[in-house]
A and B are shown apart, each in its own frame.
Chain A
Amino acid sequence: EIVMTQSPATLSVSPGERATLSCRASQSVNIYLAWYQQKPGQAPRLLIYAASTRATGIPARFSGSGSGTEFTLTISSLQSEDFAVYYCQQYHNWPPITFGGGTRVEIK
């Protein structure tokens, strides 16, 4: 099973600032990495897939990068609606599909 580790657990950012979230895989997942956003009381929303491709309707301020075992989600200028929990997911080696533990982005 591939273990996904996200850091930091919590990120405190001021609106308008850049947020950089990390995700590390216990073994290579090539580019088979997705990012999801989850707001309180809501289901997750797909943001990024194939490490760097934005899903339909996702604003350009969200970008993903990386390959192999190291990945980054960057939010270029945080908006109020971006404060949420973000999860990475690998889909290279399955079953099982595995998610990271999440990074909470909170208002500084």
Chain B
Amino acid sequence: EVQLVESGGGLVQPGGSLRLSCAASGFTFSDYWMTWVRQAPGRGLEWVAKIKQDGSEKYYVDSVKGRFTISRDNAKNSLYLQMDSLRADDTALYYCARAQWQHLYDYWGQGTLVTVSS
């Protein structure tokens, strides 16, 4: 059974940092692109970042470029999102998702909540 379990969310002050993790199981992690998608409270979905199977390609939405870094450790079946210089508008539930054929998100975790507030 495919499982994705996010962790690392919490309350952080503006300008602070957090590192999100996503533990994957039930599939060959190194075979898939992986992505982070976020959802602000009561709002829609926003794609944040994606990473290629071997980590050689990474892409970001403009609003997080230079502040967030996506990475992965295939030996640990884990995906990460390092978030620096956090702002109030980064407050959201952050989902990791497996990308089938690079762009289609066929399995999602349950999300980890990031709240940026003083």
Which residue numbers of A lie inside 8 Å of B, CB to CB? Answer: 1, 32, 34, 36, 38, 42-46, 49, 55-56, 87, 89, 91, 94-102
Task: Identify 15 new A-B residue pairs, CB closer than 8 A, beyond the known A44-B45, A99-B47.
Answer: A34-B104, A36-B45, A43-B95, A43-B108, A43-B111, A44-B37, A44-B95, A44-B105, A45-B108, A46-B100, A55-B104, A55-B106, A87-B45, A99-B44, A102-B44
Interface residue B32 (Cβ < 8 Å from any Cβ of A): no
B44, A87: Cβ atoms closer than 8 Å: yes
Instruction: Tell me, in angstroms, the Cα distance from A87 to B9 when the chains sit together.
Output: 25
Residues of B in contact with A, size category: 20 to 34
The minimal Cβ–Cβ distance linking A69 to chain B, given in whole angstroms, is: 18
B103, A32: Cβ atoms closer than 8 Å: yes
Residues of A within 8 A of B62 (CB): 1, 96
The minimal Cβ–Cβ distance linking B97 to chain A, given in whole angstroms, is: 8
Residues of A within 8 A of B97 (CB): 43
The minimal Cβ–Cβ distance linking A84 to chain B, given in whole angstroms, is: 13
A43, B104: Cβ atoms closer than 8 Å: no
Residues of B within 8 A of A45 (CB): 108
Instruction: Tell me, in angstroms, the Cα distance from A96 to B110 when the chains sit together.
Output: 22
B47, A46: Cβ atoms closer than 8 Å: no
Instruction: Tell me, in angstroms, the Cα distance from A96 to B46 when the chains sit together.
Output: 9
